[in-house]
Structure 1
Amino acid sequence: MGWFRKKKAKYDIVSKRGAMLLEDLIECCDGKSNPIKSFSADEICKATNNFSDSNHISKLSNSDYRWYKGKTKNHQKILIKKPEEGLYIYREGHLCRDISVSSMVSGHKNFLKLVGCCLEFEDPVMVYHRVKKYYSLDISEEPWSRRMKLAEDIVTALAYLHTAFPRPFVHTSMCLGNIFVDEDGVVMLSDFSCCVSIPKGETFVQVKKVVGTYNYLDDKYMRSGVVSEETDVFAIGMFMILKLLTGKESFLEFYLEGKDEDKDDGESEDYGSDNEYESKMRRRLQKWLSKLKEDRVMEEIVDPKMLEMMGGVSELELCQMKAFLTLSLRCTRHKGEVPTMVEVAKELKKMRKYLNSEASSSG
């Protein structure tokens, strides 16, 4: 009798989660997602040798998820994403959103290809197609030409999210941990657990909870929960400036290094409350972005590790970096009209194509 109750409870949980997933699929794409397989818990345990350390891919894992390699009878190479304990409860329903959006985009080369999922575990797992190797993105080791290609691939993925479906999808959660690179150097975006869909005919939606990496959060989103396509545009602009151009983790590094002459700006460091601290930080961010649009020597802005690795940069590359900075500042509303993600992708492609053609003609 006890066995029957346990089995019924497990069946009820899977049914409830399946209903949530179906509801999300209907909301996101009218139920017209790519077909995915429903794996049993036994299949996943067998594929990963009970989530053994030998199958664990530590270089991909982070504080939210653990990644495992494995294989089944019908899938010789799979990649399993298992939430850390308790994450599903913390983000109830969010993992269903991750599954539904992943199923929609997995045919695109700049997203991980979803094979299926398993709803039987306490924390549901997702199963992806696995190539020989995946790498977490380490930008510090990349030269400028490669950073440009990384930017173009990430923006192309976000532009697809914004335009490929009847309603736009906003990722909202830009961070290095959500970006993978395969053995051929192709960049792939993942984790749509916090992805927000904009209703048909609308340009924005208001959400109750703000999530994401602080450095990439748009003020409208952070202060009032308003999500629009510009939420992602701002995030990619900050990502391009910080990670790809300057090599910084945060704009605050410029203050800590003393590179901002007015870092104290007469304000007390005794913020008094979290809101006052946040206001201070956002003012510093806006001030720093405003300073970047002034005429600056690019060598003072650009990631010194990249310059050292490359042994310097050409005049053509410096011009491209200036154009890259200008585009990034437009994304953050600090120089001209804010572009759409599609426009950002087109401009990056144009920059890269021009540099390559000039390099070929001069060679």
Structure 2
Amino acid sequence: MEWWKKKKARAYEKKVRLIGAKLLEEVIECCDGKSNPIKFFSPDQILEATDYFSNSLPELDYYEWYSGKNEKHPMLLIKRCSREYTYREEELLCRDIAISSMVSGQKNFLKLVGCCLDSQDPVMVYHGVKKHYKLDLRGQPWIRRIKIAEDIATALAYLHTAFPRPFVYRTLDLQDFLLDEDGVAKLWDFSCCVSIPEGETFVEVDDLAGTCDYLDHNYILDGIVSEKTDVFAFGIVMLKFIIGDRRFHKLLKEEEEEEEDLLTWVSKLVDEPRMDVIADSMMLQEMGGIPKQEICRMEAFLMLSKRCIGLRGEVPTMTEVAKELRMIQRSIASSSSPSGETQLDSAQDISFSSC
């Protein structure tokens, strides 16, 4: 019996070494060998930090999440990948760790502290705050939705522009963001990110990843991933911010019987001229209707969503999208005159379409 235990232990140690080697490969490939330091925790340190995994955060799903702390970090957020990992899943985990180490200095990403690879279930450790929330649109007023959208756009623009080779997130979904105690949106889980080779504008992939709602035709049909893959997905996110996530899926389900593709259906949906018909009824109820000064901002937001999806004009870059959303935000404070009339004559007034 003792020999069997030793055999299992040797096999497990070999597996950990292979994962560590794969992580090193990912760091070299993604980061050109340059990344923020990645601390490796022991299984005992993780158990101690989480009080033996007793501090669970059930409000954060998909993975198992825990709050924790140690002598250097009074607050930690710990993600436990509690499932039997295949070789492919190990690759995705290493990609996630490598890219997380690259983006940790930007405020709209979860900040990676380190990981534990030699436990039964791999663990990623992030800097914690007092509270993290899943993004639930039902609890977000209109002005907060604009700010969250800007946070998301800023994160994607950073992935596209901050490194020698652009990174495309490619699986954008409302579930990919957490809100901290200050309401700042943070992107996480980079396991499906792909990099575009220098000098190229796209890369072809063999495997499709992501939710169908957010996938553009080039990606679905030909496996072509470019920065526009994220821009299209973000346009769908913006549309959901306007009309509501649940209503989006309800309307989409109703139209599936007509066998229309997503783009045709979205085009019909946003052709409705009245904003009080398009906008999320729950959001409008909280607002008490749409104040006159908000009509222009909603129209500008919707117009930008159309451009991202490819329904109007040239598709913008994520940097341009982030700029436009910042401008829409600034108009909140400056658009109303003392008489209460808006100083913006149309949604186009706050567009960066010439960028």
User: What is the TM-score of this pair, normalised by structure 2?
Assistant: 0.90
Match of 1:235 among 233, 236, 240: 233
Quick one: structure 1 residues 362 and 189, their matched pair in 2 at CA, closer, same or farther if it must change by over 3 Å? farther
Equivalent pair of 2:49/2:69 in contact (CA under 8 Å): yes
**Cα-Cα RMSD:** 2.0
Correspondence for 1:11: 13
Match of 2:91 among 93, 99, 102: 93
SS in 2 for 1:92: helix
User: What is the TM-score of this pair, normalised by structure 1?
Assistant: 0.88
Moved more, 66-75 or 319-328: 66-75
Correspondence for 1:334: 311
- Structure 1 gaps, min length 5: 266-279
How many residues were matched structurally? 338
- CA drift at 1:357: 0.8
Equivalent pair of 2:247/2:280 in contact (CA under 8 Å): no
Match of 2:117 among 116, 119, 122: 119
Equivalent pair of 2:244/2:280 in contact (CA under 8 Å): yes
SS in 2 for 1:135: strand
Matched, 1:312 2:310: no
Letter in 1 for 2:163: F
Matched, 1:104 2:102: yes
- CA drift at 1:142: 1.2
| Deviation sequence 1:38-91 (CA, Å, 0-9, x none) | 011121122223323xx11000122xx110111223332211111241355562
- CA drift at 1:359: 3.6
Quick one: structure 1 residues 251 and 15, their matched pair in 2 at CA, closer, same or farther if it must change by over 3 Å? same
Equivalent pair of 2:19/2:90 in contact (CA under 8 Å): no
| Deviation sequence 1:293-325 (CA, Å, 0-9, x none) | 535111110000000011112122111111111
- CA drift at 1:120: 0.8
Matched, 1:23 2:25: yes
Letter in 2 for 1:209: D
Equivalent pair of 1:215/1:251 in contact (CA under 8 Å): no
Correspondence for 1:226: 224
Correspondence for 2:331: 354
Moved more, 285-294 or 302-311: 285-294
Quick one: structure 1 residues 159 and 88, their matched pair in 2 at CA, closer, same or farther if it must change by over 3 Å? farther
Equivalent pair of 2:79/2:125 in contact (CA under 8 Å): yes
- CA drift at 1:138: 1.4
2:130 and 2:142 map into 1 onto residues whose CA distance is 26
Correspondence for 1:203: 201
% identical equivalent positions: 53
2:199 and 2:261 map into 1 onto residues whose CA distance is 36
Equivalent pair of 2:68/2:77 in contact (CA under 8 Å): yes
Equivalent pair of 1:215/1:250 in contact (CA under 8 Å): no
Letter in 1 for 2:45: E
Quick one: structure 1 residues 256 and 199, their matched pair in 2 at CA, closer, same or farther if it must change by over 3 Å? closer
Equivalent pair of 1:88/1:124 in contact (CA under 8 Å): no
SS in 2 for 1:110: coil
| Deviation sequence 1:258-315 (CA, Å, 0-9, x none) | xx7xx765xxxxxxxxxxxxxx3xx342222222453511111000000001111212
Match of 2:242 among 238, 241, 245: 245
